[in-house]
Chain A
Amino acid sequence: MIRNINFVSKFKKANFISIIIFVLSIILISFKGLNYGIDFKGGTLIELRTETSIDTSLIRESLRTMNLGDVNVKKFGKKGDYLIKVEQKNSNNSSLIPEIKKTLSDYLNTEVDFRRVENVGPKVSSELLQSSVIAITLALAAMLFYIWVRFEWQFSVGSIIALFHDVTITLGIFSLLSLEINLSIIAAVLTIVGYSMNDTVVIYDRIRENLLKYNKISISDIANLSINETLARTIITSITTLLALFSIYILGGEILRGFSFAMILGVIIGTYSSIFVASPILKFFKVSYKTLEKEEEKIVP
């Protein structure tokens, strides 16, 4: 399935688009912000099921009497399932949940079943946010180091820029759509880092091999050749991964929806960035077969 698509000619246009989307994502994240879930903001989340379908505004109204602060009510999956999010006002009310339950069943006059309750205190939520940021930073650093050991620094920097691109744009889209960022989204982001890296490494591996094989050809042409040679694999793997992810997205239930959506975005962006971000950067760093030779001399004295 080796085709000969001229990717190099599209690099400029792609990079231009990438930069615009990247900058837009940063603007969105810093001005519109991210919609943190209770994991990172603290608060109470209740997934409830009622026997009869109720208007969400009625639930909201019944909770207003409790003076809970910011209350968010939405439908969640099946009919009669709702998700209530309560901003934490006083963190230490141990009987908050039974009180909410009583208020709801009294006001709505129906059986209310709390299927899931999550309560995260302000201290824990800020710790979770902190450890998530550390985890993502550490993951990026570990990738940087691994590629630096296996390849040369130019490759390592190139792959990290591609990763930044992927993570930022994924978060940018989450900001744009006001989708919730919780612990499972962080897990998705870390997996995207792994997946995008995986994709980049396959192309880099081929670039390195071709650089040694054809030392007269420019890096642009080498990159083009390598991308084409690995294109079939890139596409097939993306398809099988996306098949699995769409299956989770559609059939895996509400809890996994955000996670699988983030992964789907990540796989698409990651595949794009391996070709259109990670590869052109090598030209920018003036990588040639000499870069590889120098390294080899150093290793084998």
Chain B
Amino acid sequence: MLNFSKINIIIIYFIFFIVSIFSFLNFQNKNNLILDKKVNLGLDLQGGSYLLLEINSDSLVEEKIQSKVIPIKKLLKENNIKFNNFKINNTSLNFTVDDLDKFELVFFSKKDNLVNPYIDNYRSHELDFRRLSDNFIEVNFSKFGLLTINNAALKQSIEIVRRRIDDVGTKEPTILQRGEKRILVELPGLKDPERIKKLLGKTAQLNFRLVNDNSEFGTDELISETGEKLKISKRIVMSGDNLVDAQPSIQNQQNEPTVSFTLDRLGAQKFGRATTDNVGKRLAIVLDGKVISAPNINEPITSGNGVISGNFSFQEATDLSLLLRSGALPTPLDVVEERTVGPDLGEDSIKSGITSLIVGFILVILFMFYKYKIFGLIANTALIANLLMLVGVLTILEATLTLPGIAGIILTVGMAVDANVLIFERIKEELKTEKSIIHAFDTGYSKAKITVLDANITTLIAAIILFAFGSGPVKGFAITLGIGIITTLFTAYFLARHLTSIIVLRTKNKEIRI
């Protein structure tokens, strides 16, 4: 175990130097164009916000099932199936049919089924039904139908969340899908998460509806911005979908912040027609079920440009135009998890983390030197090399360093010497019975090898499981712990062993003490 061929030595030190060089990249100030790699700081160290958003698709499912009412009735009529007791529940439809077999046949037909389309990916229909009693059935979305709805809503939401966050202009946001209903948002360096939360918390569904007492579509009673009760037609004259741009503006007369919008061609036509037909009436601008304002239509607006006023502050006008520009979310988003760290706490954490690392490191080094003298120096050299390599590997992987991650490095420092301690203690034992010192070292190393491997693999297993199940900061701990084990094995079994061999072979068989 103490004989190293030249080529082995070259490979060992080559790997060591290459990997360690990467650790120094973290200390350069300017961006190096060739090797621009750095350990990323986790949100807990640099400050920032982590948000987990969940789409709330209940209302969307209700809306979707309602949109099935007319097609289903039409389908039944076309096929001469008599139906009765048609009832719309929250997420299902109930009715009786006279010919259940025939209903089943047309309901689940695979060809050109517009009412209940067949989803090829999932080999399932969008809708499903079950018999409640004889001919009384309940129609609702199948498992995969719901999945399709959620998926589409989630994809669209991610897009809109991205637009809103980009518009605010935070640096390097991370926006990812998590599971079937969630969006993970990481915003490093963010000082005020409340504004972003507010922006993401609004679906921003904008509707223009006429204020009308007797509408054939039915009315909603909403309260206007001035506290006035208004009966507003359910018919939507135009929705926010037709908006191509929105910007905050100032109305000159009163110096009032407003939002100017531009409509697409279709929107301009719709808006033009509606305002021409209804001059003198009031048009309510409704955002997420709340009236922003309900101005009088003084003259037809056919240019496709308009202005929304509503006693805004400038910030509110800016935010509203941002929301309108980015488009409406298909469903409301709930913040189900939030973790925000202020930048000064992050700095404090780095400071205390580094301090404890240095102190822990010095304590371990002193102890090892006290315990093993010259071989302690070897173990300590290996430990320093280990630390350099650990940071180097983290840099190569551009891993994220968190506060628990720093704890993982400190723990690695404490546990890394174990490999060398195991070996040295084994050599001590061998020295008692073995005459030849070189031989004692040799068998010491080879006998301890299995134990060192076994012992480290158990910790590695724990680290891997932590990585798989842990979230955020804990993952950072698992990464440093796991990589630490690998660099520990490398430094103990190659670097330290080589250094030991130099000393042992040079002293020949003279007195040697561990």
Chain A residues at the B interface, C-beta cutoff of 8 Å: 1-2, 47, 91-92, 94-95, 97-98, 113-121, 123-124, 128, 131-132, 134-135, 138-139, 142-143, 146, 150, 183-184, 186-187, 190-191, 193-195, 197-199, 201-202, 205-206, 229-230, 232-233, 236-237, 239-248, 250-253, 255-256, 259-260, 263
* Cβ of B407 to closest chain A Cβ, rounded Å: 6
* Cβ of A196 to closest chain B Cβ, rounded Å: 9
Query: A97 to B198, alpha carbons, bound, how many Å?
Result: 12
B469 contacts the other chain (Cβ, under 8 Å)? Answer: yes
Q: CB < 8 Å: which of B194, B407, B459 contacts A259? A: B407
Known: A205-B451, A237-B415, A240-B417. A253 touches B352 (CB 8 A): yes
Known: A253-B353, A259-B404. A116 touches B342 (CB 8 A): yes
B342 touches A114 (CB 8 A): yes
Give chain B interface residues in 349-395, CB to chain A under 8 Å.
349, 352-353, 355-357, 359-360, 363-364, 367-368, 371
Query: A251 to B404, alpha carbons, bound, how many Å?
Result: 14
B474 touches A183 (CB 8 A): yes
Q: Which A residues are in CB contact (< 8 Å) with B468?
A: 135
A115 touches B404 (CB 8 A): no
B328 contacts the other chain (Cβ, under 8 Å)? Answer: no
Q: Which B residues are in CB contact (< 8 Å) with A194?
A: 458-463
* Cβ of B200 to closest chain A Cβ, rounded Å: 9
* Cβ of B273 to closest chain A Cβ, rounded Å: 38
Q: Flag the segment in B17-25, B97-105, B299-307, B421-429 that touches A.
A: B421-429
Residue of B nearest to A260 (CB): B407
A198 touches B455 (CB 8 A): yes
Q: CB < 8 Å: which of A94, A184, A230, A251 contacts B335? A: A94
B117 contacts the other chain (Cβ, under 8 Å)? Answer: no
B407 touches A248 (CB 8 A): yes
Give chain B interface residues in 435-459, CB to chain A under 8 Å.
450-451, 454-459
Q: Which B residues are in CB contact (< 8 Å) with A244?
A: 360, 363-364, 410-411, 413-415
Query: A299 to B459, alpha carbons, bound, how many Å?
Result: 27
Residue of B nearest to A195 (CB): B459
The 18 sampled A-B contact pairs (Cβ below 8 Å) are A92-B334, A94-B335, A115-B345, A121-B335, A131-B469, A135-B465, A135-B470, A139-B466, A146-B458, A183-B473, A194-B460, A198-B459, A201-B455, A237-B421, A240-B417, A244-B363, A246-B360, A255-B403
Number of chain B interface residues as a range? 35 or more
Chain B residues at the A interface, C-beta cutoff of 8 Å: 44, 52, 54, 193-194, 197-198, 201, 334-342, 344-345, 348-349, 352-353, 355-357, 359-360, 363-364, 367-368, 371, 403-404, 406-407, 410-411, 413-415, 417-418, 421-422, 425, 428-429, 450-451, 454-463, 465-466, 468-471, 473-474, 477-478, 481
Q: Which A residues are in CB contact (< 8 Å) with B415?
A: 195, 198, 237, 240-241, 244
Query: A282 to B249, alpha carbons, bound, how many Å?
Result: 81
Query: A37 to B39, alpha carbons, bound, how many Å?
Result: 30
* Cβ of B148 to closest chain A Cβ, rounded Å: 22
Q: CB < 8 Å: which of A47, A94, A191, A230 contacts B198? A: A94
* Cβ of A289 to closest chain B Cβ, rounded Å: 18
Query: A233 to B418, alpha carbons, bound, how many Å?
Result: 8
* Cβ of A252 to closest chain B Cβ, rounded Å: 4
Q: Which B residues are in CB contact (< 8 Å) with A2?
A: 429
